Structure 1
Amino acid sequence: MLTHPTHERLITLGLTGMAKAFEEQRRSPDLDALPFEERVGLLVDREAAERDTKRLTTHLKFAALRQSAYVEDVDLRRRGIDRSVFARLDGGDWIDRNENLLITGATGLGKSWIACALGHKPAATIVRSSITASRPVRSAALARGDGRYGRVLKTIGRIQLLILDDWGLSVLNPPERRDLLEIPDDRHGRASTILTSQVPVEHWHDVIGDPTLGDAILDRLVHNAHRLQLSGESMRKQNARNQTLDANSNP
């Protein structure tokens, strides 16, 4: 079948959504009865939908969320989360206000999953990043040696929602403390950060390892932060037990 020149022209102009809708209308004689304005409206709607999909795909790619998690899949009851609190966090107003979120609890409770779920929904409108807590500190340390220090800190500071996963797994050394102070200092009041940690907030001073810098760092991270304290049994243990029961139930 020969390609209609209008279809080719739409593709050349980058209007791929309209091109697809144009071909669908050509193959659907029932649409001939629609008024001209409605048929053009269908073309425009399809183009808008295509662009929204591309925009979301691009933002999710840059976001680099570590898990494909969605708030609809979060089991609040098994993690001891108040439904009304989670609904407010899901609304995202705290991101608009450049506030932080601290998610704490024992290993296996799904802290990273919940962080990615809350970071996924707004990805249609803002670019975010999900990284381990040690990576920005390590990047800053490497950048200090080759003259990129200021540029790296500026890049981290511009991320609208930064997810720092597994915070507090090891005590910081002096250069790491200074780098960690720079990161929340650049972001304070300008962007939001989600931190997940197995360590209770009241013990974070011990992880930082310096009382003075600890006060400065936590002042920028904690005082404008919402908190989710997870409880319950490890999700990994529950899932492993369920798999064992399923296997045993098979004939």
Structure 2
Amino acid sequence: MSHHPTVEKLRSLRLFGMATALAEQQAQTGIDQLGFEERLRLLVDREANERESRLHNARLCRLSARLRRAKLRFPDAVPEDIDYRSPRGLDRTLLARLLTGEWIQERQNVILVSPSGLGKSWLACALVNQACRQGYSACYLRMPTFSEEIAIAHGVGRYAQLLGQWARTDILVLDDLARAPMSAQAWRDLLEVLEDRHGSRSTIITSQIPVENWHPTIGDRTLEDTILNRLIHTAHRLTLAGESMRTRRNGLTSKAVSE
């Protein structure tokens, strides 16, 4: 009996690994020396391996798509490359908890505060990269970009659509909050975004300015209180301090060259 119809039937049943393995067995000399159970085991193993490979490739494709949509400032920032040796006050215990993704399941926020050069934006991107691996969607925005997109959306009638898009995103990163002046309208828009996300999605904020010093930048006590209320009560705080990592690395490089 020819095996060709069996190969076709396996393919019609979407058992592509078994079909390929059976076709290969037909072309092998001496394959009949193997017993039925041994040949069947080879077919089943091939099917299992190919399914696992397809599943792995599909996961990689979905991860790649999530990272592409996130538009991270540092797309190569990954948890495995986090620098724990530099003296910057990094809370390893808290960071380890954040990397589990529990804070996202609980719809909590993260606030990263540090002077320039200590890697807060990079750490934010590493947290998002890990979250994307765990199946969450993300969007990264520097605050000038946020203000610009909001202003354009107002002008072209896409404001509600844009807010809806951000509201459905699992993690929204707002990088460098309160560093540069924003209009009163931009602060009100930010509040609208945070209102939509409060209790339903997670937000990561990075800033060079301590939270308690945001008020002069916002310029409206009521607005400030409401924004902080939406952010800090369910937020994990990572505060970094120390010498700029860029300065230190440049100094080490210069020293190595001079020596």
CA distance in 2, matches of 1:22, 1:86: 46
120, 126, 129: which is aligned to 1:117? 126
64, 70, 79: which is aligned to 2:71? 64
Which position in structure 1 is the counterpart of 2:82?
A: 74
Q: CA deviation at 1:22?
A: 5.1
CA distance in 1, matches of 2:84, 2:212: 24
Are the aligned partners of 1:172 and 1:209 in contact in 2 as well (CA < 8 Å)?
A: no
Which position in structure 2 is the counterpart of 1:138?
A: 148
Query: What is the identity, as a one-letter code, of the residue corresponding to 1:66?
Result: R
Which position in structure 1 is the counterpart of 2:184?
A: 174
Query: What is the identity, as a one-letter code, of the residue corresponding to 1:154?
Result: G
Q: CA deviation at 1:245?
A: 2.8
Q: CA deviation at 1:242?
A: 2.2
CA distance in 1, matches of 2:130, 2:165: 22
CA distance in 2, matches of 1:241, 1:120: 30
53, 56, 59: which is aligned to 2:60? 53
Name segments (4+ residues, structure 1) moved above 3 Å.
31-34
Which position in structure 1 is the counterpart of 2:116?
A: 107
TM-score (norm 2): 0.82
Q: CA deviation at 1:201?
A: 0.6
161, 186, 196: which is aligned to 1:151? 161
210, 232, 245: which is aligned to 1:200? 210
Which position in structure 1 is the counterpart of 2:99?
A: 90
CA distance in 2, matches of 1:162, 1:212: 23
Deviations 1:88-119 (CA, angstroms, capped at 9, x unpaired): 11111001111110000111000001101111
Q: CA deviation at 1:120?
A: 0.4
* Unpaired segments ≥5 residues, structure 2: 1-6
Q: CA deviation at 1:77?
A: 4.2
Q: Secondary structure at the match of 1:66?
A: coil
* Bigger CA radius of gyration: 2
Q: What is the identity percentage for the equivalent residue pairs of Structure 1 and Structure 2?
A: 38
* Unpaired segments ≥5 residues, structure 1: 1-5
Q: CA deviation at 1:161?
A: 0.5
TM-score (norm 1): 0.84
Are 1:225 and 2:235 matched, yes or no?
yes
Q: CA deviation at 1:75?
A: 1.9
The alignment of Structure 1 onto Structure 2 pairs a total of residues equal to 237
Which position in structure 2 is the counterpart of 1:39?
A: 46
Q: Secondary structure at the match of 1:76?
A: coil
